[in-house]
Structure formats: structure tokens, C-alpha cells
Amino acid sequence: MRGILRMTALACLIVGASASRSSANVVYTLTDVNLALGSLPAGTLSGTFTLSDDLTTLLGADLTASAAMVNGFSYAPTTYTLANSTFYTNNLASYFQLTQGAAELRLIFATPIATTGTTALSSGSYEWQAAAGVRTVASGSVVASTGAVPEPSALVLSSIGVWSSLLVVARRYRRRRKAA
């Protein structure tokens, strides 16, 4: 019986050590982001970007600046994705920049971005187009949401169940053998 208990404990330790850490990427959605040229409305910014759960890696972006005509300046609609842009940051929790040809988008967070909740965008955030110039973020925020966090490994749960079942069978067998 002691041998079975030792084997069960050892198997649980081995399988438990091999289970991976639970994690989920964080998706941020731009909410009510308005662009301005001085005090004049100059379009909107919408879309999402995804960071790793430790907030150190930009995994994806799909951000769109709307078209606008302000004081003779014509802003073309521009979509910034990680695939078609050059990415830059030296502190992802504070800001990042995507450059695509003759256009640039820089999002600066008013406070360090977190894995939950809402973070306001700083008025220093902007979108720049060579043909029209800079339009700044007048208002808006990003809202974090995470996907479902994976449950512990199915292998760990099933191995505990198998070993527990074997232990019950061994006990019953041993009791019947002693009774006979």
C-alpha cells in the first residue's frame, strides 16, 4: 500500500511540475477616441491592440484613423496594423508608436496601462500624416479585456483521477484478500 501511495505522490508531482502556467493575452479596445486639429474636431480613432499578459510584447494591432477635412487639410482614412507598420517603444506600459509609410500613430497612456480596467489616453497622443499634418487625441481611453484563462492541464486532472481509482481498487483487493 505504501508503494502505491508513493507512486501516486510521485506521479502527481511529475505531472504537476510539467503543467504550464495559466495566462491570457490582453486585448485593448479604443473607446470614444476623438481626434482634433487645435480645437476643431478632426475625426476618430477606433480599433484594438493586443499585448502579452506580462505587458511586454505587442502581439497585434488593428487601429483605424477616420478620414477628415479640417481647415483645408485632408486626412485620409488610415489603418495601422502590426503587419504593415514599423513598431517602436522603449516602455510599452506607457506608450507605443506605429509608423506606416508617410503616416504615424503614437498612443501615450495617461497612467501606465494595466491588464484590467480603463486607461485614459494622454493628450500627447497623435496621428500624423505627411500630406495633412498632426491631429491630436482630444479625448478617449483604452479598455482592457482578457480571454478566458485556461484551466489546469487536463493531464494533471486525469492522472489524479486514475491514480485515485487505482488506490481504491488496491484497498478493496487487499481487504478481500485479508477476509478470505
Residue 9 belongs to some domain of the structure: no
Q: Give the CATH number of the domain where residue 92 resides.
A: 2.40.128
- State the cell numbers at 73: 487639410
Residue 112 belongs to some domain of the structure: yes
Residue 76 belongs to some domain of the structure: yes
pLDDT tens, per residue, the chain with 180 residues: 566 656 666 665 565 555 555 568 999 999 999 999 999 999 999 999 999 989 999 999 999 999 999 988 999 999 999 999 999 998 999 999 999 999 999 999 999 999 999 999 999 999 999 999 999 999 999 999 976 555 555 555 566 776 677 777 777 878 887 876
- State the cell numbers at 113: 496601462
Strand partners, 64: 46, 79
List, in order, residues 6 or more apart from 117 with CB less than 8 Å away: 143, 144
Distance CA 125, CA 22 (A): 33
Distance CA 126, CA 135 (A): 6
Residue 113 belongs to some domain of the structure: yes
Beta carbons of 32 and 139 less than 8 angstroms apart: yes
Residue type, 90: N
Residue 126 belongs to some domain of the structure: yes
pLDDT at 158: 64
Residue 167 belongs to some domain of the structure: no
Q: Which domain holds residue 100?
A: 26-146
In the chain, how many domains are there?
1
Residue 169 belongs to some domain of the structure: no
Distance CA 5, CA 161 (A): 14
Helices 154-179, 2-18: crossing angle, 10 deg rounding: 180
Residue 69 belongs to some domain of the structure: yes
- pTM assigned to the model: 0.71
